[in-house]
Amino acid sequence: MLLTLGQNMDSATVNASHLRSFIERIEKLEEEKKVIAEDIKEVYSEAKGTGFDAKIIRKIVSMRKMDREKRREEEEILDLYLTALGMIE
């Protein structure tokens, strides 16, 4: 529910104000996100204009991302082992 049941309705004005504030913050952030998404597109465009194939760059970026995630996972597993062995923490 929008307001938790049982909440005093006398505070409706305060709540409306809070709600408005949350919504504005979200909309502002989404606007920023959109701008960045457009920036990313522009970089792909620029790369294309320099003779690179956007699709392949996309692939490279995605592979590098997977590598980072894989490395992070491996580190986490290593930490788990080390913790289990009482060697850290």
Q: Report the interface residues with its own copies, using CB under 8 A.
A: 1-5, 7, 15, 18-19, 22-23, 25-27, 29-30, 32-33, 36-37, 39-40, 43-44, 46-47, 50-53, 55-57, 59-67, 69-70, 73-74, 76-77, 80-81, 83-86
* Contact partner at residue 12 from DNA, its own copies, none, CB < 5 to 8 Å by partner kind: none
Tokens of 42: 């522009």
* Contact partner at residue 45 from its own copies, DNA, none, CB < 5 to 8 Å by partner kind: DNA
First CA to last CA across the chain, in angstroms?
A: 42
Positive/negative CA dihedral, 47, 52, 55, 59: negative
Using an 8 Å Cβ cutoff, are 15 and 3 in contact?
yes
Residues that bind DNA (CB under 7 A): 30, 33, 37, 41, 44-45, 48-49, 54-55, 58-59, 61-62
